[in-house]
Amino acid sequence: MRTVVIPTDFTNEGVQIAEAIVRDIQDEVRVVFTHLFHVADDIQDLLFSTYREKEYELVPEEFWHECRMLKDTYPDQLASIKIDFFYGNKLALLKNFLEYYETDFIVYSEQYGIPKLTKSSLDALPVLKKTGITMINADMIRVSSLADVASYR
Q: Quickly list DSSP for the chain.
A: -EEEEEE--SSHHHHHHHHHHHHH-SS-EEEEEEEEEPPP-SHHHHHH--HHHHGGGGS-HHHHHHHHHHHHHSTTTEEEEEEEEEE-S-HHHHHHHHHHTT--EEEE-TTT----SSTTB--HHHHHHTT-SEEEEHHHHHHHHHHHHHHH-
> Measured between alpha carbons, how far is 35 from 84 in angstroms, rounded to an integer?
7
pLDDT mean over 19-30: 90
pTM here?
0.83
What's the chain's length in residues? 153
pLDDT, residue 43, reads 56
Q: What percentage of the chain has pLDDT greater than the value 90?
A: 57
Q: What domains does the chain contain, in order, with CATH numbers?
A: 2-152 (3.40.50.620)
Q: pLDDT, tens digit, for every residue of 29-63?
A: 999 999 998 876 555 555 555 555 567 778 899 99
Cβ burial, residue 40 (10 Å; 0-12/13-18/19+): middle
pLDDT, residue 152, reads 31
Q: Is the model more confident about 58 or about 82?
A: 82
**How many CB atoms neighbour CB 146 within 10 A?**
10
